[in-house]
Amino acid sequence: MSKIVWKPAALLAPAPAVIVSCQDGKKANLITVAWTGIVSSDPAMTYVSIRKERFSYEIIARQKEFAINLASEKMCRAVDLCGVKSGRNCDKFAVSGLTPLPCSKIGCPMIEQSPLALECKVTDVIPLGSHDMFLAEIVAVDVDSGLIDENGKLHLDKSGLLAFCHGEYFALGKRLGKLGFSVRRKPHHAASPK
């Protein structure tokens, strides 16, 4: 394959497409974010990068708390709305038809319709240019009970998560394998009776 060299661009994909919730006094707000990821497993830490001009920027900078709400296919329209509208002019929960639920460890709401939410406390704010990075510790995880089986195992793949790729939203498709599949030995078969 021949390669064409382009100038620097934010072309990492797929990215998660999530809705970040936050609250300042009585005003809760939502903002869609794709610039997010896990930065450490233990302690579990994440980040969201947000432009200074965004309404949620000031709220999170002041309150030092937010929740990351994973989004399902069904939430795609709400995800898009929360990315293009501003909370300065509207109530994002009302506009998007999403329902706030109290978090357990932080003072802002999570989204009831979200399959899984990460409750986060900001540990650092790093200015980088167009965006500031809010580094945060994950302090609790809220899981939709319908995704947990009778053995307590989480089936996140059943929630129809959204991905963001080069300006477009996609559903997750075919399952291709489990971490470690390339080196896993085939299971032993019991000798068949003769």
115-134 residues near its own copies, rule: CB under 8 A = 116-118, 126, 128-131, 133
* Residue 166 DSSP class: T
Find, among 45, 69, 40, the residue nearest to 122 by Cα: 45
Residues in 7-46 that interact with its own copies by CB under 8 A: 7-16, 18, 34-46
Told to check if 169 binds its own copies by CB under 8 A, we report yes
Is residue 85 within 8 A of residue 93, CB to CB? The reply is: no
Told to check if 113 binds its own copies by CB under 8 A, we report yes
For its own copies, give the closer residue by CB, 20 or 59: 20
CB 64 to its own copies: min, Å = 16
| Sequential DSSP letters for 66-105 | EEEEE-BGGGHHHHHHHHHS-TTTS-HHHHHT--EEE-SS
Told to check if 172 binds its own copies by CB under 8 A, we report yes
Residues in 73-112 that interact with its own copies by CB under 8 A: 73, 76-77, 80-81, 83-85, 101, 104, 110, 112
Q: Which of 88, 178, 189, 194 binds its own copies (CB under 8 A)?
A: 178
3-state secondary structure of 160: coil
* Residue 154 DSSP class: B
